[in-house]
Structure 1
């Protein structure tokens, strides 16, 4: 049985805390943005807009979505600094940026311009963390438990999403409707964020990044601590040798490269291109299935489904977050590394699709009918949707985006994917209120259902099963046509020395699929 070191566990917890900004934004801030005390302080009550309904909707959407827009720029910034500063220093930088920005948000005191600025600024930190945290976790995880380790990012995120709704409910019940009420809610995530930032000074960067910078002795020491075994342990030596071999191979083929050169290689090397585009497709489909649009406006959606009380709507929103957390934990600690990635995301997309179809029917036919049975079914469908999202693309979009990419291009490609993720999330969050108004709510659900169906078809054909596949052999799954990815499997493992003798630099850098296949043993049964 593999040994689990305390250092390994603490490192995972600290780095996974990088999801707190995103999680609390979707839960705590989303709930605060609907609080009467917050709306009154920032002049967002309907009576304060003299009947300008469209202007009020646009302003509220800006407040919610500007944090997401800032996150898109944070992901771009992460692209520029992750490889230079290292995974750990980048994580610390973005956590500090988010804390500073969120502190300003908390104490904006009714100044709308300052609030919008702070939302953008804190979003930069949150966006950068979505790039570096999953990347860090991927690079320190054992092969057999990589899915579980990376998914801890989502477990932490959903925990704080859930806490945000329940804390908001508690503040509504126990505090007077004043600035102190919504400030109490917004202050909460700064505490665990600060604790994680402090303790991050006691952990180390990833062995893979250290080795890529020629700090081999340090890489071995860190790997040994992560695995809870001495450096001369056979398992540690084997994993270290694989890391060094991969880094050496990457340096020989891609030494002295710039970001622009990596972009050209991704565009011309078939295996790189397929992997990058698959990660991009995962992020795109995940956002446009309605995932974060629904989460940011979940209290409103429960009211559309027939929940009349604001407090009960918040309780349901907290239960929605709790259900997502519960099924994400089941997914993390069992489903993902037992049933595999494909079964999970296909099942999740199917559940999302059928619940969107029902909600479209409900919103189109029964929304004003006061039909209790239909209303109860609509509320239930929101919870079923949460199950589908949690066992599917909610987590797998991050996992695929890191594990299918080789170390050399991982930072550039994953940061690019996360930039697209954030821009699309901004578009979804910004557009959802307008979609509800212009498409009479039901039209938005028809749109989301169609995206789920498209995802079932394209990702069902394209995405290979990566369960248990070492990062160093991931390339073998992408040697065939993209639409045959669903059948890709590893072939017999070849001896590294024999493999290196058969491979020439021109073959490694060839743009055709035939050149890439020289070093692959993929089977399509």
Structure 2
């Protein structure tokens, strides 16, 4: 097959849908930093001089402001279980975008009304959580098999771009604006502009060919596929790809139309290959969340202070640098590694690197924290950046990619939405428990815990997860026909079973 022609419509589709990652990215960067500005804290009376309760109550309230958005996101992922298959990927994306924009607008202009802030954090979180389900799902279903990893990774590139940008915008507001409502409102209003533009552009897009075909709208699905491939409905390559999609759903028991969520849940529970693939996606979400990823991201300024950075401003600059490192290496991952080296090599290398940096940080926090040991402190700061590299080339993106590509269209939406619900619930738990873990485990214990999770993840995912690079989505089932603990042996055959090849990938 000749290389694909340049296609402005396809590029626009990927860019617009990938902008669904902005709410999550900016929440972890822009909002997390803005909620620590004196202007924000004073407006909501979250400083010691204005707080009337106990110090522990103040700490709990601050954590609630951050974590309620994460809790709302878990609800949004749960809602996506119902709506994504029913109304389609595109309409679900638009629905959740509206929810996030209205919620974040209310957060921006709550004007010190604490109850409205809390409600708006949950409301906007519903939209952000739903988008983390729909956007990767949509991108997976429109991508070619040989470039699927790169296309889905663009979601993470945009997410991390806005996470990093959020830190820099906070720093600019801190340096150039007085501590007032306008200061934090400027920071919070910014991401609504690109998301609003993406929302308008989405009305020029179509739904995914796989979802349309699953709803027995074959003519429309073929037309959309041809447009995505910059060709016509008579093109033999387009017809071949569409036939593969149709073959995957041609049997009555694979059609989505008029199928209830409960029916799909029962199938996943009883059909062995569905169950193994769903649990693999769940395992990836579990290891990703508890390996320290979001525990570090949400509290990165404090972590740099613990590592020996001198001041809060310097810590914020380092936090921005941390986000930039994640962005750069996620781009390297997306455009140079994932579809070349494959998923397995990337996530195992990333987990091993995370584990190594956690071990050093545990030693540093136990032996040298506060000792004015400059070389040890510099190494600790460097290890935080090295951790960002491991996270970026590993589970940061692979967790989304595996969850969307290994399941058939019939159960993909429900299973991935369930996985993302668990993702957000775990993230909520991580955000809430990280400060108490630092306190009760003397910081080093938290790092030791994270190192243990990474080590277990290398072993469990290393034997379970097959290599899916280049395998058509309609043939993923063949990788999971053997025992789960033999998944690692499917990798070599999966590579031979390319999109255009006639050989089938085998389990072992």
TM range (shorter): over 0.9
Q: Distance in 2 between matches of 1:58 and 1:365?
A: 29
Indicate which of 215, 233, 236 corresponds to 2:235.
Answer: 233
Q: In structure 2, do the counterparts of structure 1 residues 304 and 268 end up closer, same or farther at CA, with 3 Å as the change threshold?
A: same
Report how far residue 111 of structure 1 moved: 1.6
Matches within 5 A, 1:368-517: 368-489=370-491, 490=493
Matches within 5 A, 1:136-155: 136-155=138-157
Q: Gapped runs of 5+ residues in structure 2?
A: none
> Does 2:506 align with 1:522?
yes
Q: Distance in 1 between matches of 2:253 and 2:8?
A: 33
State the secondary structure of the residue aligned to 2:309. Answer: coil
Instruction: Say what the alpha-carbon RMSD is for the aligned residues.
Output: 1.7
Q: Distance in 1 between matches of 2:416 and 2:263?
A: 16
| 1:57–1:433 CA contact under 8 A, matched in 2 | no
Point out the more displaced range, 266-275 or 128-137.
266-275
Aligned to 2:121: 119
> Does 2:334 align with 1:332?
yes
Aligned to 1:162: 164
Matches within 5 A, 1:197-276: 197-249=199-251, 251=253, 256-276=258-278
State the secondary structure of the residue aligned to 1:129. Answer: helix
Report how far residue 293 of structure 1 moved: 1.3
State the secondary structure of the residue aligned to 1:367. Answer: coil
| 1:69–1:426 CA contact under 8 A, matched in 2 | yes
Q: Distance in 2 between matches of 1:450 and 1:50?
A: 40
When normalised by structure 2's length, the TM-score is 0.96
Q: Distance in 2 between matches of 1:91 and 1:50?
A: 42
Report how far residue 256 of structure 1 moved: 5.0
Aligned to 1:20: 22
| 2:214–2:256 CA contact under 8 A, matched in 1 | no
Report how far residue 414 of structure 1 moved: 0.3
Q: Distance in 1 between matches of 2:386 and 2:341?
A: 20
Point out the more displaced range, 129-138 or 361-370.
361-370
Q: Distance in 2 between matches of 1:429 and 1:521?
A: 40
Q: Distance in 2 between matches of 1:381 and 1:28?
A: 23
Report how far residue 325 of structure 1 moved: 0.5
> Does 2:284 align with 1:300?
no
Aligned to 1:283: 285
| 2:471–2:497 CA contact under 8 A, matched in 1 | no
> Does 2:349 align with 1:365?
no
Q: Distance in 1 between matches of 2:136 and 2:60?
A: 33
Instruction: Write out per-residue CA displacement over residues 89-125 of structure 1, whole angstroms, 9 at most, x where no aligned residue.
Output: 0000000000000001011111221111111010000
Report how far residue 51 of structure 1 moved: 8.2
Q: Gapped runs of 5+ residues in structure 1?
A: 500-519
Aligned to 1:192: 194
Point out the more displaced range, 219-228 or 249-258.
249-258
State the secondary structure of the residue aligned to 1:488. Answer: helix
Point out the more displaced range, 305-314 or 202-211.
305-314
Q: In structure 2, do the counterparts of structure 1 residues 85 and 523 end up closer, same or farther at CA, with 3 Å as the change threshold?
A: closer
State the secondary structure of the residue aligned to 2:50. Answer: helix
Q: Distance in 1 between matches of 2:178 and 2:128?
A: 30
| 2:354–2:387 CA contact under 8 A, matched in 1 | yes
Report how far residue 254 of structure 1 moved: 7.6
Aligned to 1:175: 177
| 2:486–2:507 CA contact under 8 A, matched in 1 | no
| 1:250–1:408 CA contact under 8 A, matched in 2 | no
Q: Distance in 2 between matches of 1:21 and 1:97?
A: 11
> Does 2:327 align with 1:343?
no
State the secondary structure of the residue aligned to 1:46. Answer: coil
| 1:98–1:123 CA contact under 8 A, matched in 2 | yes
When normalised by structure 1's length, the TM-score is 0.93
